[in-house]
Amino acid sequence: MDKLIIRGGKKLSGDVTVSGSKNASLPIFCATLLASGLHEISNVPFLRDINTTIKVLESLGAVVDGNGNIVRIDTSGVNNVEATYELVKTMRASVLVLGPLLARFGRARVSLPGGCAIGARPIDQHLKGLKALGADIHLAHGYVEAKAKRLKGARVNFDMPTVGGTEHLMMAASLAKGESILENAAREPEIVDLANMLNGMGARIEGAGTDTIRITGVSELAPATYRVMPDRIEAGTFMCAAAITGGDIRIHAMQLEHLDALVFKLQDAGVEIINKDGVVRVKGPKKIRSINIKTRPYPGFPTDMQAQFMALMCVADGASVVSENIFENRFMHVSELLRFGADITVEGNSATVKGVKKLSGAPVMATDLRASASLILAGLAADNTTEVSRIYHLDRGYESIEKKLAGLGADIQRVNE
C-alpha cells in the first residue's frame, strides 16, 4: 500500500494542466451501452474509478481498449444485462448501467450500490424515474431487476436535485417513446457534458444545465466520438493549493465558469485570480482571510470542495464556519486535520474553524477521496514532514496529483509502505 511523504513550506509556482473529469467520464462510459458499435472517448483520466467502470463494461460484453487518454469502447458484443455486486460495490456510479441496459435490451439486473464513507446515497430517485418511464422494478436479494418492452416518455419531478438520478433518466429517456420532462433536475456541468455526448449519439435533449430538461426519445442511437470536459474539482484543488502555500501558479485546460461559487469565496479570502487567454493564474495572499461557506447543489458551493476549503481556513486569519448541507457524514477529515494542530469544532452539520499561525506536519490517514486532498493541502502548508496513508482513496479521483504538485515545486513523493 502506498503513502505520500510531504515536506511542507514550499510556495507553489509554475504551470499545471487539469485532467479530464472523472465525474463526467463515468456516466459517459455508461452511455456507450445505449448504442451498438465503436465509441471513442478522449481526455479520459487514468483513475481507479475509470478502471472499475471499464471492468463493469467488459463484464457486460463490451470490448475496451485504452491508448493514452483515449478509450475506445466497442459495445456491439454486449450480451449480458447483469452487473454483479462484486463490481458495483466498489463504486456507486456503476449503477448507472441499469438505465442504458434497460432502454436498449428491455431488461437489466444490477446490484444495489449501498452507502459509502461520506454517507448514504440512496437510488430511490433513480428508480422512481425509471418507474415513471414504464419500467417494472423489482428488488430482490440485493439486486434491482427491471423490465420494459420499451420505455415511454413521462414527466419526472425529483424530490431533490440528484446528479446521478438526472444522468440516469437522461440516458434511459433518450430511447423512450415520446417526450420526457425532468423537473427539479440537477444542473452540474457534468450533466451538460453527458447531454452533449448523448446528442452527439443522436439523442434529442434540451435544457441540460437548467432545472428542467426535455428529452424527445428516438428509436436508436449511434456510436460517437467525444472529448470529456476538464475536471473542475481537480482545478479547484489546485487553486486551494496555490492559496494555502502563498504560491503563484497558472492552471491550464480548466473552465473557470464551472467554479464561480469557489472563485467568489477564494477572492473574498484574499486570493488573486486572473483568467487570461484560457489560462487561470492563482496567487495566494500573505495571509488568508476567514470566510464562511455552505455547500449547496450546483451552482452553489460544491460539496466536493468542502474539505479542501476547510484545510485552507485552518491557516486563515480569524474564525470561519463550514456548513455541509449535502452529505451527513462528510467531516471525517476533521479528526485528521486536528493532528496538524488545527482548531476545529464540529456541531451537527457545521464546523467552526479558528485559524492558527502554522500547521505542524503529522502522520495522517485518508478517509475518502476529497478528504485525501485536504490532508495533502494541509501537509503542503505545514512545518516539517507529513505522511498521508491510505491514498488509494486519492487514486479514485486525482490523476498523478503528486507528480503535478512536484512539478509546481512541492516536496512530495509516493512511497510504498
**48 known member of a binding site:** no
**277 known member of a binding site:** no
What is the rounded distance in angstroms from the CA atom of residue 52 to the CA atom of residue 108? 19
**5 known member of a binding site:** no
Cell for 332? Answer: 471525517
What is the rounded distance in angstroms from the CA atom of residue 94 to the CA atom of residue 188? 19
Calculated CA dihedral for residues 58, 61, 62, 64, nearest 10 degrees: 40
**92 known member of a binding site:** yes
**250 known member of a binding site:** no
**306 known member of a binding site:** no
Could you tell me which residues come within 8 angstroms of residue 414 by beta carbon, excluding any fewer than 6 positions away?
2, 3, 4, 5, 391, 402
**125 known member of a binding site:** yes
Closest CA to 166 of 174, 158, 155: 158
What is the rounded distance in angstroms from the CA atom of residue 350 to the CA atom of residue 322? 6
**136 known member of a binding site:** no
**326 known member of a binding site:** yes
Catalytic residue among 30, 116, 240, 314: 116
**289 known member of a binding site:** no
Closest CA to 295 of 266, 257, 262, 335: 262
- Does residue 30 have an active-site annotation? no
Q: Which residue has the cell 429517456?
A: 173
Tally the C-alpha atoms within 13 A of residue 263's C-alpha that lie toward its C-beta.
16
Cell for 349? Answer: 452539520
Name the residue type at position 25: S
What is the rounded distance in angstroms from the CA atom of residue 26 to the CA atom of residue 22? 6
What is the rounded distance in angstroms from the CA atom of residue 407 to the CA atom of residue 409? 5
**Is there a contact between 185 and 161 (Cβ–Cβ < 8 Å)?**
yes
What is the rounded distance in angstroms from the CA atom of residue 378 to the CA atom of residue 358? 10
Closest CA to 300 of 250, 258, 353, 347: 258
Binding-site positions read: 22-23, 92, 121-125, 304, 326
**Residues involved in catalysis:** 116
Binding-site positions for phosphoenolpyruvate read: 22-23
Binding-site positions for UDP-N-acetyl-alpha-D-glucosamine read: 92, 121-125, 304, 326
